[in-house]
Chains A and B, each alone.
Chain A
Amino acid sequence: YDLTQPPSVSVSPGQTARITCSGDALPKHYVHWYQQKAGQAPVLVMKKDTERPSGISERFSGSSSGTTATLDISGVQAEDEADYYCQSADSRSTYPWVFGGGTKLTVL
C-alpha cells in the first residue's frame, strides 16, 4: 500500500502552498502530516486530517476528500521550507505504518 506525494512544490513568499497525498485507503483512515526542516527531526503539523496540534501556526490547514488529503500552508514564509511527509494506516492490518515519499517545499 502506497501513499503518493509530489516530489516537490515551489511557491513564492506570501502565496499558498498546497501539498497532496493520495492513497486508496484514505477514505477509511485519517492522514497525519509531518514537517522536517533540514538537519532536524520531524514535527507533527497536522493530525487526523484537519486538527492542528498546539503550537502549530494557523497558516497550516488540512483537508481530505476521497482518496486525496491536502496540506495547505497560507502566507508561505521562508521558515516553511522543509520536507513534508503524510502518514496513514493500512486497511489490511494494524501494522505496518505507511508514509508518503515526502514533498520538498521550496520557497522561491
Chain B
Amino acid sequence: EVQLVESGGGLVQPGRSLRLSCAASGFAFDDYAMHWVRQAPGKGLEWVSGISLNSGSIGYADSVKGRFTISRDNAKNSLYLHMNSLRPEDTAFYYCVKGLTSSPYNTDVLDVWGQGTTVTVSS
C-alpha cells in the first residue's frame, strides 16, 4: 500500500523558515515525480512545487518561487520542502503527493496524497 506521511508543520512567525518532510513507502519512490500541494483554510487546492524522479527537473508556483526549495533523497524515500521568508498567506495544509509519471510537468497526475501537515504563519 502506498503511504505518504508528512511532518514538520507548525506555527512560525512571518519571515522565518520551516522544513517539511514526507516519508514514502509502498512503491518505488525513485521511479516517480513528487509534488507538494497546499490548501489554505476554506480554500481550494494550489500546486506548490514538483520534482522529477532524479531531481533533474523542478518547478514552482509563482507564489513561492525564490522562497521555497523542493528536494528529495531517493536513498531515504523522502521528499522535502524548505520554506524561507514565510508569509501569512503561506498558511495552509500542505500535502505530499505522488505523481503518475517521472516528470513534474503539469501533464503529470496527482496519484496518491498524504494526509497533510498544517503550516500556520502568524506573529
Chain A residues packing against B (C-beta within 8 Å): 29-30, 32, 34, 36, 41-44, 47-48, 53, 85, 87-90, 93-102
Contact = CB atoms under 8 A, between A and B. Distances in A.
A101 B43 CA distance: 8
Nearest to A95: B59
Contacts of B105: 89, 94-95
Contact of A99 (B44, B60, B107, B116): B44
A88 B107 CA distance: 7
Interface of B: 44-47, 50, 59-62, 95, 100, 104-107, 109-116
Nearest to A40: B115
Nearest to A42: B113
A56 to B, nearest CB: 12
A69 to B, nearest CB: 14
Given A95-B59, A97-B47, A97-B61, 18 more contacts: A32-B109, A34-B110, A41-B95, A41-B114, A41-B115, A42-B45, A42-B110, A47-B100, A87-B110, A89-B107, A93-B106, A94-B106, A94-B107, A95-B60, A95-B106, A97-B50, A98-B106, A99-B45
Contacts of B116: 41
Given A30-B107, A43-B113, A47-B109, A102 B59 contact: no
A42 B61 CA distance: 19
B100 A41 contact: no
A36 B37 CA distance: 13
A44 B106 CA distance: 15
A53 B89 CA distance: 33
Given A34-B45, A99-B47, A44 B60 contact: no
A48 B109 contact: yes
B100 to A, nearest CB: 7
Nearest to B44: A102
Contacts of A44: 109-113
